[in-house]
């Protein structure tokens, strides 16, 4: 999924668990058809169901050289591959007792934050506390990594008034994305491409508590994202937790924002750097 210089492979499979994993935990995956000696940690972007042992796993794998390139080649051919999975490992999130949660993800770091937000929604049937989902992407088309999941999260805005979704596209302007999408819809020569353009247009449609910012080779203001969350959290009260995954520069920016607060001891922070 993506452009040739920015590929992500999506891996989906079902597995019967004795006990489900928790949001924020990760597994080690081995692909014996490629190498029995290599095992890598991956965080499922899917949240386990509580009413069945058969669970669906979804993983996003950034394609580089070596084994990930081989996986991408298999994905393009529509082939299946045997997978050995060990785990889960790590602690669950959101942490027990933390009511207000801000998640910040860069690129494929969304596999860590998305299930945390979904779990937060599940734990708060009568929402009150601030729950913010921030995803920083290079291009708008990266939303197709988790297209169905993002549509589902967007639809949850109606029921969960505490939920905020903020998307930042760092390498495109809004006009360039609109032109690409409209050309795809006008041509209609490839049905799948036309469908993709239509879905992207729908997904980018802003609404209350759902915003999309096109930054055109700039990065979002971490201070603005953080301050908005803290203000809302203080208005409703309760403990605050900031969680994220992605480039270390994002982690450093968030740490700086927390350190300048007088009551920084009241904020729990964790950054997943896998």
Q: pLDDT digits over 254-269, tens only?
A: 999 999 887 767 799 9
pTM, two decimals, is 0.90
pLDDT, greater one: 126 or 215? 215
Assign 143 a pLDDT band (cuts: 50, 70, 90): very high
| CA 42/CA 171 separation, integer angstroms | 26
- The confidence score (pLDDT) of residue 67 equals 85
- The confidence score (pLDDT) of residue 81 equals 86
Walk me through the domains of the chain, giving residue ranges and CATH numbers. Answer: 8-89 (2.40.30), 100-272 (3.40.50.80)
- The confidence score (pLDDT) of residue 69 equals 86
Assign 181 a pLDDT band (cuts: 50, 70, 90): low
Q: pLDDT digits over 39-73, tens only?
A: 999 999 999 999 999 999 999 999 888 888 888 88
Q: How far apart are the first and last CA of the chain?
A: 21
In the chain, which ranges are continuous DSSP H helix?
67-77, 110-123, 147-155, 174-187, 191-203, 222-236, 248-259
Judged against a pLDDT cut of 90, whether residue 23 lies above it is answered with yes
């Amino acid at each position: 999924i993506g452009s040739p210089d920015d590929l992500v492979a999506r891996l989906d499979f079902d597995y019967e668990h004795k006990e489900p994993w928790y949001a924020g935990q990760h597994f080690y995956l081995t692909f014996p058809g490629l190498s029995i000696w290599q095992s890598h940690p991956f965080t499922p972007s899917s949240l386990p169901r509580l009413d069945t042992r058969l669970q669906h796993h979804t993983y996003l794998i950034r394609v580089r050289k070596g084994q990930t390139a081989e996986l991408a080649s298999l994905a393009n051919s529509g082939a299946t591959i045997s997978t050995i999975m060990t785990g889960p490992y790590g602690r669950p999130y959101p942490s027990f007792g933390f009511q207000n949660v801000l998640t910040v993800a860069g690129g494929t770091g969304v596999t860590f934050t998305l299930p945390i937000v979904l779990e937060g929604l599940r734990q708060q049937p009568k929402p009150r506390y601030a729950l913010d989902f921030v995803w920083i992407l290079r291009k708008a088309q990266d939303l197709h990594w988790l297209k169905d999941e993002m549509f589902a999260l967007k639809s949850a805005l109606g029921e969960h008034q505490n939920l905020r979704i903020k998307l930042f596209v760092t390498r495109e302007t809004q006009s360039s994305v609109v032109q690409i999408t409209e050309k795809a819809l006008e041509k209609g020569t490839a049905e799948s491409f036309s469908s993709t353009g239509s879905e992207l247009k729908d997904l980018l449609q802003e609404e209350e508590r759902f915003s999309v910012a096109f930054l055109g080779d700039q990065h979002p203001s971490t201070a603005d994202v953080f301050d908005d969350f803290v203000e809302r959290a203080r208005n409703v009260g309760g403990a605050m937790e900031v969680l994220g995954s992605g480039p270390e520069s994002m982690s450093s920016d968030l740490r700086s924002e927390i350190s300048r607060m007088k009551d920084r001891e009241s904020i729990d922070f964790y950054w997943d750097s896998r």
